[in-house]
Structure 1
Amino acid sequence: MASKSLLSFALIFTLSLFHFCQAGGVIPRRHGLTIIKDNVKNQYFTTFIVGSPPVTFTLLLDLGNLYSWIVMPTITNPPPSAPSLAAPPNAPPMVVAAVLAAMPSLVRAAPTTPVAPMPRLLGVIAFTRPLKGISANTKGVLTLGNVNIALHSVISKNFRLANKFALCLPTTDTILYKGFEGALYFGGGPYYMSKESRHDFSKSLVTTPLVVNPKSTAPISSEGDKSVEYFLNVKAIEVGGTPLKIDSSLLTINKNGVGGTKLSTLDPYTVLHRNIYKALVELFTAKAKAMNIPRVAPVAPFGACYDSRYMANTTSGPRVPTTDFVLDGRNARWRIYGANLMVKFFDIKYRNVLCLGFVDGGLKTTTSIVIGGKQMEDNIIEIDLESFRVGFTSAPVSLGLSCSQFQATLPTF
């Protein structure tokens, strides 16, 4: 575990957030941003426009970081006149600027624009070198962890909104294909599929309590820190209605912070402890065989792949055995359909192959189940820090709907 003292090697920046109010100074009840996906890295981002002339900051979304991270060039001789923040046409006028803590005057709002300044927060760490392992399209990381300096917490405090946010991750590479972005909501629902729809998906969320991990699993933490990630209590796993036979102790978090289940937007696919993975693949393969779906040679990084020619197409993806995470709460289960279970390849030699989108994490995993991005896509995942619960719905996938349709209903400021 890295020490917080390592942060002394980074430049500490402040996070200045400004909200451009509607006419009459009325603050909207909800805030929203678009989510874009890079299919090469299988990562999810949101974008802010900063400065005049405008500079785009594309930040990786992270559910489990203590801080936000931004890569910027070193500022040696800042100009005497303060630059301005300009919102792009038709974009949510929520902008983020990273400025030196010693020079807060470098940030101001665009002229003639009514603003409600938010307190500056010592929460963004800036580096002058690109961060390894993240897409070349990004300038850093935006934390959505359970910390006071996370964007949802700042918005909640300063605009008196409920401290909750919801993700609807897109499946399409929105760097290449515009118009298929997902949505990131702040302050709670309603969540409508389209502007004409009357169905509020916030009313049909299945909820389960969040669980506190007594030990931090973040890359940077100190002894005694609790985890800022979002854990939930999976009590059992079922494939096609049949429970897995696994050691139940793997599903709970022990005193050392090992075990349990968490959500991650950084892991592209769900990562399982090896004993859970083997049991799931064995049962899934048996259920698939009963549906006349043969297993084929694996394609890395997956260990279980199948012949897609024997899978019928449905509104919820290829027809394969469903997988359920049985959770704490009355009738609380997260059902994963074929669209979120099976991974296809663009290489023509694998045109008839679909792989089970779970990865073997080995025997020494810190967390037994890490639910990754693929399994969360085209679902609404709401983190409610008021009631300390997580809500979700598989309804969009089961109805053949996508998060790009939710993106069209983001509030206009």
Structure 2
Amino acid sequence: MSIRTGSRLVLDLGGPLLWSTCLAAHSTVPCRSDVCAAAAVQDNPWNCSSSTDGRGSDGGGGRGLCACSAYPYNPLNGQCARGDVTTTPMLANVTDGVNPLYPVAFPVHAACAPGALLGSLPSGAVGVAGLSGAPLSLPSQVAASLKVERKFALCLPGGGGTGAAIFGGGPFHLLVVPEEFGMVSNGLSYISYLRNPKNGGFYLDVVGIAVNHRGADVPPDSLALDAGTGHGGVMLSTVAPYTALRPDIYRAVIEAIDAELRLIARAPPSWPFERCYQRSAMWWTRVGPPLATVDLMLRSGGNWTFFGSNMIVQVNEETLCFAIVEMGPTPAMDESPAVIIGGFQLEDNLLVFDLEKGRLGSTGLLYWIRTTCSNFNFSWGTP
């Protein structure tokens, strides 16, 4: 996401704050302030020290003026560092849901980070924008500064297109057919999401997984989120490229895929994907190969469905693979999810996160209405 000319932030659904590299001379925030208290309650990774909790570095040249600090975290490589909390301007475009209207600048509080913390981030990224419900997350700060709803929408593009991140609510219009706009917010279906007490992630309450509508041999309790330890559960992620499953769950899903696609000619595995097929043996519909539908069965009833276009990735001209990977045998931290739904699976689906009501809206795959996340109109309108 572009935040000002030449500056881009990686969007992290579970991140509690904003962080970026800073100039050597930057403003600081006093330790004993409401902002620092908000920084102190951020959910830190297990290998990071806790944030200031009313303490910090001496920002007054030995005069005892305490500067608030926090612990920015790189969600791609697991590294973290301590940095000052500063105030910086952010520039965004106001929209009426159809066009951008005019730019607006507003202050945000962010943590400074050393350049080394940018490792593994995409080229040109200067930091990370956390999208959790924490007080210093981007949606919380936008809502407080601009007096809008504590809500945000993400539409992640496929195929290298341009998507959208919209803060403060809708409506949301997409170009559906030439010279006509569709208000896709009218087609949103909402479900409640779960929050992990140990991190800021968004979780789905899932009790089963099905391939082509036939259940995989996954015990319901293996997908549950433990409210006490924060372990398990099915988490949404904008930083994991593909859906990752714990080994026991992964093996059950692979066996279900094998049972359903046993007549489709296989291709050799293509790292990091294990189950691959010959491109010539698959056929395509508007929403991808019809033999590659995966359902997450929700406790509240109904399914969250991923169609072939979000489950099959073409790795070369002759090979298609299921876009799922196996987690390592040892969890990276105690609150490791059972399933991480990756960015590829979320592409071309308008998602609306309502932080006040604790619910998640989804249009489902936009291909059904012959549009994509790249079809927001970014030409300027009239204020």
Q: 1:335 to 1:410 in 2, by over 3 A?
A: farther
TM-score (norm 2): 0.73
* Alignment correspondent of 2:139: 152
- The residue that corresponds to 1:351 in the other structure is 317
Please say if residues 170 and 185 of structure 2, whose CA atoms lie closer than 8 Å, have aligned partners that are also in contact: yes
C-alpha change, 1:410 and 1:314, in structure 2 (3 Å) is farther
Percent identity over paired residues: 30
Partner of 1:327: 298
Maintained 8 Å contact 1:236/1:326: yes
Instruction: Tell me by how many angstroms 1:319 deviates.
Output: 3.1
Q: Is the 8 A contact 1:189 1:202 kept in 2?
A: yes
**Match among 291, 294, 310 for residue 281 of structure 2:** 310
Question: Secondary structure at 1:153's aligned position in 2?
Answer: helix
Q: Is the 8 A contact 1:316 1:400 kept in 2?
A: no
Residue pair 2:298, 2:304 contacting (<8 A) in 1 also: yes
2:2 pairs with 1:47: yes
Aligned: 1:65 with 2:15: yes
Q: State the partner residue of 2:372.
A: 402
- TM-score scaled by length of structure 1: 0.68
Partners of 2:149 and 2:137 in 1: CA distance: 14
Give the residue type in structure 2 aligned to 1:66.
P
- Separation of aligned partners in 2, 1:304 and 1:187: 41
Quickly say closer, same or farther: Cα 1:168–1:245, change in 2 above 3 A.
Answer: same
Q: CA deviation at 1:314?
A: 1.4
**How big is the shift at 1:410?**
8.8
Q: Offset at 1:167?
A: 0.6
Aligned to 1:190: 171
1:210·1:230 contact (CA, 8 Å) conserved in 2?
A: yes
1:171-182 correspondence runs (5 A): 171-173=158-160, 180-182=161-163
How far the C-alpha of 1:230 sits from its partner, in A, is 0.9
Could you say which residue in structure 1 is the equivalent of 2:247?
Answer: 274
SS of alignment partner, residue 125 of structure 2: coil
Distance 1:275 1:401 in 2: 36
1:172: how far off? 2.3
Distance 1:246 1:101, change over 3 A: closer
Structure 1 position 409, deviation (Å): 7.9
Report the residue type matching 2:260 in the other structure: K
Q: Is the 8 A contact 2:287 2:309 kept in 1?
A: yes
**Corresponding position of 1:80:** none
* In 2: Cα distance, 1:412 partner to 1:165 partner: 23
Q: Note the C-alpha offset of 1:73.
A: 4.7
- SS of the residue 1:265 aligns to: coil
Letter in 1 for 2:203: F
The secondary structure found in structure 2 opposite 1:394 is: strand
Q: Is the 8 A contact 2:156 2:164 kept in 1?
A: yes
Q: Compute the displacement of 1:200 (Å).
A: 2.3
Aligned pairs, number: 310
| Cα distance, 1:408 vs structure 2 | 4.0
In 1, Cα distance between equivalents of 2:109 and 2:307: 42
Counterparts in 2 of 1:238-277, with a 5 A limit? 238-254=210-226, 255-277=228-250
SS at match of 1:214: coil
* Counterpart-to-counterpart distance in 1, 2:339 and 2:205: 10
Deviation at 1:406, TM superposition (A): 2.6
| Inter-partner Cα distance in structure 1 for 2:143 and 2:317 | 46
Q: Deviations over 1:326-347 (max 9, x none)?
A: 224343x2111111101112xx
Letter in 2 for 1:302: F
Distance in 1 between the 2:295 and 2:221 partners?
Answer: 18
Q: Which residue of 2 aligns with 1:202?
A: 185
Q: Matches of 1:326 and 1:338 in 2, distance apart?
A: 17
Residues 191 and 144 from structure 1, CA distance in 2 versus in 1: closer, same or farther, beyond 3 angstroms? same
Superposition deviation, residue 101 in structure 1: 6.8
Letter in 1 for 2:18: S
SS of the aligned residue for 2:182 comes to coil
Deviations 1:277-306 (A, max 9, x none): 1111111122122xx422221110111111
**Cα 1:406–1:302 shift into 2, 3 Å:** same
C-alpha contact 1:130 1:139 (8 A) present in aligned 2 = no
Aligned residue number for residue 34 of structure 1: none
User: Which residue is equivalent to 1:371?
Assistant: 341
Question: Which amino acid in the other structure matches residue 245 of structure 1?
Answer: D
- Whole-Å separation in 2 of the counterparts to 1:198 and 1:326: 32
| Cα offsets for 1:374-395 (capped at 9, x unmatched) | 0000111111112101111224
More divergent stretch after superposition (267-276 vs 321-330): 321-330
Amino acid at match of 1:250: S
Separation (CA, whole Å) in 2 of partners of 1:184 and 1:207: 18
Alpha-carbon offset, residue 240 of structure 1: 0.7
- Aligned residue type for 2:322: L
State whether residues 241 and 342 of structure 2, in contact with CA within 8 Å, keep that contact through their aligned partners in structure 1.
yes
Deviation per CA, 1:44-64: give whole Å up to 9, x if none.
xx1122xxxxx4101111111
1:296 paired to 2:267: yes
Amino acid at match of 2:275: A
Q: Identify the residue that residue 116 of structure 2 maps to in structure 1.
A: 129
Deviation at 1:66, TM superposition (A): 2.0
- The question of whether the paired residues in 1 share the 8 Å contact of 2:89 and 2:108 is answered with no
The answer to whether the aligner puts 1:232 opposite 2:208 as a matched pair is no
Quote the residue 1:38 is aligned against.
Answer: none
Tell me the equivalent position of 1:85: none
Kindly indicate whether the alpha-carbon contact (under 8 Å) linking 1:183 and 1:410 is maintained by their aligned counterparts in 2. no
Q: 1:209 to 1:287 in 2, by over 3 A?
A: same
Structure 1: which 5+ residue stretches go unaligned? Answer: 1-45, 50-54, 77-99, 174-179, 216-226
CA–CA separation in structure 2 for the residues paired with 1:296 and 1:243: 25
CA offsets 1:114-164 (integer angstroms, 9 cap, x no match): 99874x554332324352211222111111122122221122223332211
Partner SS, residue 360 of structure 2: strand
SS in structure 2 at match of 1:129: helix
Pairwise CA distance, 1:212: 2.1
2:363 is the alignment partner of 1:393 = yes
Q: Which 5+ residue runs of structure 2 have no aligned equivalent?
A: 27-83, 92-101
C-alpha spacing 1:409/1:183, structure 2 compared with 1 (3 Å): farther
